[in-house]
Structure 1
């Protein structure tokens, strides 16, 4: 016999869930907990707007302090192209966000776009993009001077000697500006001099060979004078150890005769700014950064003072250990012409990390009555982590 339960007024059906059951509409949605309250607030926060204006502030800080305050050496390690990639990405996200059904108000979107564009414009000189190549016309005549500048990475210590010297000689330059004439132990922790003068004379017959510390200049043109300048001036004539010469002699000036003209060529290797092998959690890294920054600034100041007193046509080239994003080159880039404007690359990256040349650390500058005809970056058979700068000039 089937029994029926009659539900009267005020009685609860046995099929209804008990009060407070999770599926009940009023079981807590009107009284959200702290986690749900935070989740409900998230859509109201304009994260893109915040990110854009935070990036703009970072760009302004970078422009104000890079090259002037040593702690900036750490953030300045970033690839220069981030100063173009980040604002362009922010603009793209802001514009495509207008297609969403829950798009933010127009004023939020367009103020974010305005902030990203401002960051792009202000940081453009830090990107390393070489717009000058689009407006360079190659000269019709033959150049007067061919120069190669290259950081050899410990004088090609991991390479067969014959291959090393043959690779350099194959460039057939009038003048070679070479850095790191030394050998190393413990992955660069210890450096020592090398003696390769006999090999240089063998592979470069007829060239004048000038060696100062770790810098080597080879010239098949007549040499008028050669000396260390800037912070290392005078070290070559003192009774100094090779380590002192290595530490101080970072700019070698060589004056050569090109036809009836004299040209000054500066072979440069600015000290590295940071030792990536040290832990960022220890104080030694930051003490070394501060010390290296003092050495770097002394070399830059000495070079700039020297150039201000030189009225000859001038080429300054080498490994500056300074990317386009770093303010250390502010003066040289402001008063001299960049030889890379005569090249064919919008981003002439010269130093590779994991095979990607995302940094330009090697530069060539001109002043006076000399013009860059051609400029290119050469991998030099992969012997070094730096690529060589191959240049030709007209006087």
Structure 2
């Protein structure tokens, strides 16, 4: 090998090794709270791009028949297998359903204002709920207009079979089954929060948490900076906002985790986490619960587009006493988020662990 080519090859190997180290650090990002520092949170946010780069480097080394060099990006992808399984799954055959299913959906509905027409968007959401035979619908960023108030939206959903309804602030839950108790909550020190609804299904009670965790704050920062200075905010300001809001989400997560652990009923947590599966938020909330996509999803699970990348930040997690027979991210465009729908039934073995 010529000296110049040898130097180039060695440099590429060193860069591959560096990428492997970064990828390995990404795999641990969910173990550390953003309250402990911004680095782990930023690594979690960077995970999709880092793994895409790993896949490209793996393909390049394989094409060059550099088998040993290809082991590094392959090992990096394996180290992040948990994240990959929470984002991408191969198509699966539909199970034979022998028990009644409960179909739960969640949507950050963007105030029903994606197209500037609350009534038309609310009709579309109700139509989709009917088409998907949704039994419980969790809505975040609920909005209304003077011409089409919340009662009108509730009437639309009732015609789709969701006759029971509770709405507080920007949170709403619509259900085919009676809502026995409900509690609206705000996370400590925050305007974000959600609804807790205890739903009676026959002789059983299911506790629903419809939640909206702290936003990243980037959209507001860009909007404010554009109005004040006519350009994009500097990187240090953006990182500062991400860090502060990431710490807020971590505190909200710890508070919500404590509420879940005290529940006397099986729990479903649905909503907009504003974090990806590489995050502390996801790891903490998933403890003791099941991610429906990992159990019954297929394809790609992205629910929200940011800078041309489809991220998964909307989730449905549920008690281990249940299992999912399907988990889908719908393609309908009724918000800046995608609606997620899962079909649940009592798990024949795990159901023994019901609360």
| TM bracket, shorter-chain basis | 0.7 to 0.9
- The answer to whether 1:225 aligns with 2:187 is no
Alignment match, 1:335: 288
Q: TM-score, normalised by structure 1?
A: 0.71
Report if the CA contact (8 A) 1:373-1:392 is conserved: yes
Q: Does 1:390 align with 2:341?
A: yes
> Are 1:79 and 1:359, in contact at CA under 8 Å, matched by a contact in 2?
no
Taking only aligned residues, the RMSD between alpha carbons, in angstroms, comes to 3.1
Q: How far apart are residue 71 of structure 1 and its match?
A: 4.2
Q: CA deviation at 1:316?
A: 0.9
Paired with 1:74 and 1:361, the residues of 2 have a C-alpha distance of 15
> Which segments of 5 or more consecutive residues in structure 1 lack a partner in the other structure?
1-38, 99-108, 184-191, 233-243
Asked if the contact 1:138–1:342 (Cα under 8 Å) also holds between the matched residues in 2, the reply is no
Greater mean deviation of Cα atoms: 83-92 or 211-220: 83-92
* Equivalent pair of 1:48/1:94 in contact (CA under 8 Å): no
Task: Describe how 1:1-395 pairs up with structure 2 within 5 A.
Answer: 41=4, 43-45=6-8, 46-65=10-29, 67-68=32-33, 69-78=37-46, 80=48, 82-98=49-65, 109-128=66-85, 138-141=95-98, 143-156=100-113, 158-170=115-127, 171-172=129-130, 173-182=134-143, 196-205=149-158, 207-229=163-185, 231-232=187-188, 247-276=190-219, 277=222, 279=232, 281=234, 283-341=236-294, 343-353=296-306, 358-380=310-332, 382-395=333-346
**Deviation at residue 175 of structure 1 after TM alignment:** 1.6
Give how far 1:74 is off: 4.1
8 Å contact from structure 2 (residues 86, 294) kept in 1: no
194 and 226 in structure 1: CA distance in 2 versus 1, 3 angstrom threshold: farther
CA shift, 1:73, in A, is 4.0
What is the rounded CA distance, in whole Å, between the counterparts of 2:39 and 2:275 in structure 1? 15
Query: Matches of 1:313 and 1:123 in 2, distance apart?
Result: 30
Residue in 2 that maps onto 1:188: none
Q: Is the 8 A contact 1:274 1:292 kept in 2?
A: yes
CA–CA distance in 2 between the matches of 1:61 and 1:282? 22
Give the SS at the match of 1:349: coil
Contact preservation (8 Å) 1:379, 1:386:
no
Shift of 1:275: 0.5
SS at match of 2:210: strand
- 1:219 is displaced (CA, Å) by 1.9
1:379: Cα distance to partner?
Answer: 2.8
1:174: how far off?
2.0
| Contact in 2 for aligned 1:73/1:273 (Cα 8 Å) | no
Structure richer in helix, relative to its length: 2
User: Within 2, Cα distance between the matches of 1:111 and 1:130?
Assistant: 28
C-alpha contact (below 8 Å) 1:256/1:262 kept by paired residues:
yes
2:328–2:342 contact (8 Å) kept in structure 1: yes
Secondary structure in 1 matching 2:64? helix
Please identify the structure whose Cα radius of gyration is greater. Answer: 1
